[in-house]
């Protein structure tokens, strides 16, 4: 590989045109109309992380301007450059520059626009009015409700849906085969579960795992620093059987072996109690979910991991004993 960029699989395998974008058929269909007409309104892309919002914006620009599209696209990450000065200086300067020969406008891409300050959004609102003839804005947000209403009303709204499991698995297989990476099918399933539908995260996990040889389930969980789900389920089951001491030993082993924090353990327990593998009565699930929320809050506020997790296992043991006696 000849450059740093090529080493990053997320960038190397990013779709280049709208035809390459998967699982967003309705979005792509509407955007292709803009390409055909060589005109478009301001756009607001919303949806969970890692589903292709930024990639789709780049693909749209590529289809409009060709291979030299980056000359006519100003990309800013609004979470880093989100102040009013950036809006007044960088955006205004680019908006005043010349337009491409065949398309009557340039594009300003504001990634993570939901992190912009209120003052910056108000300034952006005015610029969208002033330079609308020569510039189009694409705003990308995970939480569109954080974008002020005046900006939302100026944009065409595009909702991106989470990627399907089969689409993510197929893409991971395609990348693995192109990179001559050996893998187990179970490992790709594990990557999907960990990534929770985030394609970017899934590719990064695959690449990191590939450096350790064949991609297996054990390798995947070591790379991401998480315990295997069955080990978490086993710890919870032991506690619910009333064996607090053995559950505590199991917890200590997990935290030392995988280097987990208390918050990591709580998140994994929360995921597993609602999985199909955990056969628990609905009432027990509700009680555990309620108490998990309280423990997580204490950890976020700075409480000691070991004490809080021990208290949680002790509580599970008491709940398990009550269930057994009824």
Taking residues 102-119, report their average pLDDT: 88
| Cα three-residue angle 262-268-270, rounded to 5 degrees | 105
* pLDDT on residue 181: 92
Sign of CA dihedral 144, 148, 149, 155: negative
| Domain positions in the chain | 4-159, 165-224, 229-325
pTM of the model: 0.80
93-99 contacts: CB < 8 A, separation 24 or more? 94/135, 95/127, 95/130, 95/131, 95/134, 95/135, 96/131, 96/134, 99/72, 99/134
Please report, rounded to a whole number, the percentage of residues in the chain having pLDDT higher than 90. Answer: 55
Q: Which CATH number fits domain 229-325: 3.40.50.620, 3.20.20.150, 3.30.70.2860, 1.20.272.10?
A: 1.20.272.10
Taking residues 19-43, report their average pLDDT: 93
**Sequence-separated (6 or more) residues with CB below 8 Å from residue 230:** 277
How does pLDDT run across 58-102, given as a tens digit for each residue? 999 999 999 989 889 988 876 665 566 666 777 778 877 777 888
Q: Are 239 and 315 in contact (CB under 8 A)?
A: no
CATH topology of domain 4-159: Rossmann fold (3.40.50)
How does pLDDT run across 193-246, given as a tens digit for each residue? 888 889 999 999 999 999 998 999 989 988 888 888 889 999 999 999 989 999
Residue predicted with more confidence, 192 or 325:
192
Which segments within the chain are labelled E, that is strand?
42-46, 73-77, 106-111, 135-141, 155-159
Q: Does the structural domain 165-224 have CATH classification 3.60.20.10?
A: no
């Amino acid at each position: 590989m000849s450059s740093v960029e090529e080493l990053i699989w997320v960038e190397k395998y990013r779709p280049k045109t709208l035809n390459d974008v998967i699982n967003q058929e309705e979005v792509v269909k509407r955007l292709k109309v803009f390409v055909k007409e060589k005109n478009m309104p301001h756009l607001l892309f919303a949806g969970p992380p890692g589903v292709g919002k930024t990639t789709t914006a780049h693909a749209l620009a590529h289809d409009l301007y060709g291979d030299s599209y980056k000359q006519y696209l100003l990309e800013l990450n609004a979470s880093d450059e989100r102040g009013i000065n950036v809006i007044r200086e960088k955006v205004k300067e680019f908006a005043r520059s010349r337009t491409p020969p065949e398309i009557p406008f340039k594009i300003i891409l504001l990634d993570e626009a939901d992190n912009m300050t209120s003052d910056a959004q108000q300034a952006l609102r005015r610029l969208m009015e002033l330079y609308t003839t020569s510039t189009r804005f694409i705003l990308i947000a995970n939480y569109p409700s954080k974008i002020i209403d005046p900006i939302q009303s100026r944009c065409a709204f595009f909702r991106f849906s989470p990627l399907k499991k089969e689409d993510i698995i197929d893409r991971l297989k395609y990348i693995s085969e192109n990179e001559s990476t050996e893998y187990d099918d179970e490992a790709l399933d594990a990557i999907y579960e960990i990534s929770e539908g985030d394609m970017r995260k899934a590719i990064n996990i695959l690449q990191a795992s590939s450096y350790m040889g064949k991609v297996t389930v054990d390798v995947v969980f070591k790379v991401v620093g998480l315990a295997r789900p069955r080990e978490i389920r086993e710890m919870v089951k032991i506690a619910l059987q009333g064996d607090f001491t053995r559950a505590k030993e199991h917890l200590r082993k997990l935290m030392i072996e995988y280097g987990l924090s208390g918050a990591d353990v709580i998140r994994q327990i929360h995921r597993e109690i609602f999985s199909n593998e955990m056969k628990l009565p609905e009432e027990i699930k509700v009680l555990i979910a309620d108490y998990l929320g309280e423990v997580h809050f204490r950890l976020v506020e700075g409480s000691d991991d070991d004490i809080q997790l021990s208290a949680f296992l002790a509580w599970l043991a008491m709940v398990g004993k009550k269930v057994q006696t009824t």
